[in-house]
């Protein structure tokens, strides 16, 4: 699924319900899908890479808002490790090092407000379960390791997790996708600090960076409006 695709005279790409076609036009290539047509300089191949789900329909937001379908209660000064499911978008690249042509979302995106209308933020809304062990995911879902540490003296319950998506890196092997590890440090019954650790899983290939700049202040994220 992911990685290099030979163009030949014509290449058709199927991403969920999206269909795209690449054809040669002289020394250029034409990329077409519903509502999109682009010409680009091309070689023998294009590349398909999984990307964090914050680019479709347009790049407006920097966070993913996970809503847990099964909440987690954690005792004082205890820690749990597990996995959550992150949907991915698919980037079409002109080369293995960049030159992004298009980004497609196999699953219809939803967005939600975290916090107050005055001070909160809007993020890509994802419903997921917390899995204690690694689970079988489809082609368009990244298995995402997460560690949750309760640093308080109280029992706490977690129902949501907000992640700075621009810090998340994805890795692929054939049709399997893994994401960077997330750490959630609980600081009170209503607050937590989220950080992202970039460590390549064994046997997986990292997606090349596709942004030149990461917005300031997104190395970590403090959840101030409930966990």
**17-38 confidence digits (pLDDT tens):** 889 999 999 989 999 998 899 9
Peptide bond before residue 57 is cis, with ω within 30 degrees of 0 = yes
Residue 28 main-chain phi, psi, to 5 deg: -115, 175
The range of the structural domain enclosing residue 67 comes to: 3-223
**183-207 confidence digits (pLDDT tens):** 999 999 999 999 998 888 889 999 9
The span from the CA of 126 to the CA of 128, in Å, is 6
Domain count, the chain: 1
Q: Where do we find the tokens 């509502």? A: 35
* pTM for the whole structure: 0.90
Q: Decide if 114 contacts 63 (C-beta within 8 A).
A: yes
The span from the CA of 80 to the CA of 62, in Å, is 26
């Amino acid at each position: 699924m992911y990685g290099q695709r030979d163009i030949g005279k014509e290449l058709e790409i199927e991403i969920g319900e999206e269909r795209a076609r690449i054809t040669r036009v002289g020394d250029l290539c034409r990329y077409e899908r519903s509502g999109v047509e682009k010409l680009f300089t091309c070689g023998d191949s294009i590349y398909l890479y999984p990307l964090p789900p914050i680019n479709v329909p347009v790049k407006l937001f920097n966070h993913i808002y996970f809503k847990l379908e099964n909440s987690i209660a954690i005792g004082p000064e205890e820690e749990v490790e597990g996995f959550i499911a992150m949907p991915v978008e698919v980037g079409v690249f002109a080369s293995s090092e960049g030159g992004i042509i298009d980004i497609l979302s196999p699953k219809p995106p939803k967005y939600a407000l975290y916090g107050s209308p005055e001070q909160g933020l809007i993020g890509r809304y994802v419903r997921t379960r917390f899995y204690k062990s690694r689970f079988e995911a489809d082609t368009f879902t990244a298995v995402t390791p997460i560690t949750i540490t309760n640093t308080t003296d109280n029992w706490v319950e977690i129902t949501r997790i907000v992640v700075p998506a621009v810090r998340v890196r994805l890795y692929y092997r054939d049709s399997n996708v893994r994401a960077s590890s997330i750490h959630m440090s609980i600081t009170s019954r209503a607050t937590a600090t989220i950080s992202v650790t970039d460590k390549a899983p064994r046997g997986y290939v990292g997606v090349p960076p596709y942004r030149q700049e990461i917005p300031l202040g997104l190395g970590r994220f403090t959840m101030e409006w409930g966990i």
